[in-house]
Amino acid sequence: MSIKVGVNGAGGRMGSTVCDAVAADPELTLAAGVDPSASGRECHGITISSELRAFADAHCDVVVDFTLADAVRVTLPWLAMHGVHAVVGTTGLSAADIDTLRETFGDGPAHCLIAPNFAISAVLMMRFAELAAPYFDTAEVIEYHHDRKIDAPSGTAVTTAGRIAAARGDAGWAPDPTEHEVLPGARGGVGGGPAPVRVHSVRMRGMVAHQDVIFGAAGQSLTIRQDSYDRESFMPGVLLACKRIADHPGLTGGLDGYLDI
């Protein structure tokens, strides 16, 4: 039997792309869509609703959420209460939010995946950066997004900084030589754990989602670059998550475990 998928934010740019991808996959069925701003719109044989109960009425197995952090804080506990799995690409959630959601899903029948990026190339980029971190003395992250993204830095950049900081560990990085910022913020924000990493954000019309992770050591540098030119780049990861989430109890952070890397 096919997996019944609901889409929260079905009228948005990412949500409508997810609807198209789910409808085209023979192993999945687009069962419901929710979006207050698109209520009543027809989409691949369903009518988009304004109410979360549409997911329960359609007996959804899993709901994909690409909305806003404030909406997710309401939607995910509702899905957990109704035993519906959640695949989440919404960014802007805090560490406290994640801890709360981990308790919410716990050992219950509903499972949750929260991934900063569903592009397979982005998942590999983060893994490659993690592998490179111990071999270089300095590292910085530059992320680039379209001019409608309202949070900065991106979830992918924050996750990347955290992972390479953890991989570097107690060795730390070479000291930052900057003594004075002529323009405040010129050196970017700082993310990561024991070995913080500088993170820079660009918002540019014409872009979708891109990231450079730059490492440096004496006489050499390494740049790991990932580009998503279209929202379709995220769909293979989203579809994979919908099909495999039943095998991953509790809350999972990132798509890595679904790819076995």
Separation of alpha carbons 69 and 88, rounded Å:
10
Question: Cα–Cα distance between 253 and 248 in angstroms, integer?
Answer: 11
The alpha carbon dihedral of 95, 99, 100, 105 has a sign of positive
Cβ–Cβ under 8 Å, residues 139 and 164: yes
Is position 145 annotated as part of the catalytic site? yes
Catalytic residue, candidates 4, 145, 200, 210: 145
- DSSP β-bridge partners for residue 228: 209
Residue with tokens 């959420």: 65
Separation between Cα atoms, residue 35 and residue 27, nearest integer Å: 24
- Length of the chain counted residue by residue: 261
Residue in this structure with the two tokens 């789910």, named with its chain if needed? 22
Tokens of 52: 């979360």
Catalytic site residue from 149, 180, 243, 248: 149
CA atoms of 38 and 28, how far apart (whole Å): 23
Residue 149 annotated among the catalytic residues of the structure: yes
Catalogue the active-site residues: 145, 149
